[in-house]
Structure 1
Amino acid sequence: MTASLRTFLQTGELAPITLDLTLLDVAALIGPPAWWVTDAHDFPIPLNWGYSTLEISFSLEQPHPIEFLSIKPPQKWGRRFHSFCPLLRLSMDGLPIEGRPSELLRAGIWDPDSVEVGILTDPRDPKICIRGTGIEILYVVSDPDREDHFAQASLGGIERAAVLLEEHVFLYGLYQSHGGTSSVRWPEESWQEISAREYLEILERHRSIAPHDLA
């Protein structure tokens, strides 16, 4: 079975895996997990299943419906497909998933007015998060970059933060959760939010300014 990355980013659906499935449904569709994570609440069965870079978390309540799923980037995405397990692969659809946030926003996946870009401007842990229909895409800054570019000075306004972070973030994960609640953008009140169109317009206004001139 093949899921579409474009469809997942547009709708939050990783067909055939949908949030109305239960643990037993997933096992019947794509088999047992390659690994799992357990904690004190998982008895008598583990509720966090992993298939390569796909992680699926199930509710504690029977019949254990899907509660949350995430896709973590591998060391190298496949050119055409990325395999989660022998029975499920992801079609890459020619999308620039390894690139910067702006590259994904310009790839024709969404209407730029319908997608939100959140920016966490805390210099100790700056992040960018794209929130679309049912999904969140989180970008973070590596430790060396955070020390070199952000730890010694405030990021200031959202425009300055957007330009600086665009140059230094990398994809951390793709997320989908039941009910659309966010565990990715936390604490929620610390994020500043703009539309994808506004984000791209900020980058366009500052494209002639070298990132180090803003530091």
Structure 2
Amino acid sequence: QYEYYLKTEKRFQQSTLNKAIQRFRKVIRYAISEDYLNKDPFILYKAKRVKKPILYLSQEQLKKMEETDFGIRRIQYIKDLFVFCCYTGLAFKEMINLKKKDIIKENDELWLKVYRGKTKRNYMIPLLPKAQEIMDRYNEEGSIHVFNGISNTKFNAYLKEIADVVDIDFNLTHHIARKTFATTVLLSNNVPMDVVSKLLGHTKLQTTQEHYGEIVKQRLRDEIDRMKDRQ
């Protein structure tokens, strides 16, 4: 009944509705702990999942960001780190914690050995030329880490300035670099989903499919449309 009320009277979208019920359930749990209620009326309730659209940079947006000289050193540095993550898929913590000893050479190719906090496992990423170029640019002799530290809050604040200059009309955060790696750098270049999954450090292929399956479907639809136009 409460869900129906929020939908009809309040006209809440599903994501807002889920948050409202989540907050209300905290009150319910407190009431039970204080013996005001005997049982949880939401015990069988399951919130409907809301799929948010995946935000990422297109090839054109990524190229424009790469080619733009911001003229201010701190902004240029943040831009370079963001682009680095667009070509490696590193999450913010992984980028900040990356050490020089994590750069491994195998069969004349450089790889990054990355510890993924979410899965508590190491995984390997090939060091693509554009990522290596940025890494070399900020190589400080005697430093243990690849990059100097910065807080996630400050990083994202600087990204807002960058987004204004390169005309990105959505909220640009560090996490979008990882999404760009998966979509624009990998999937758009026909890298198979199972390989993408490994390069993102996912332990299950299903996780990757849930996140990026719709993008693959859209690419197929676009290809079919182009094929129809040629006939």
Q: Answer yes or no: same fold by TM over 0.5.
A: no
TM-score (norm 1): 0.24
More strand, by proportion: 1
Q: Return the index of the structure with the highest Cα Rg.
A: 2
Higher helix share: 2
The TM-score normalised by the length of structure 2 is 0.23
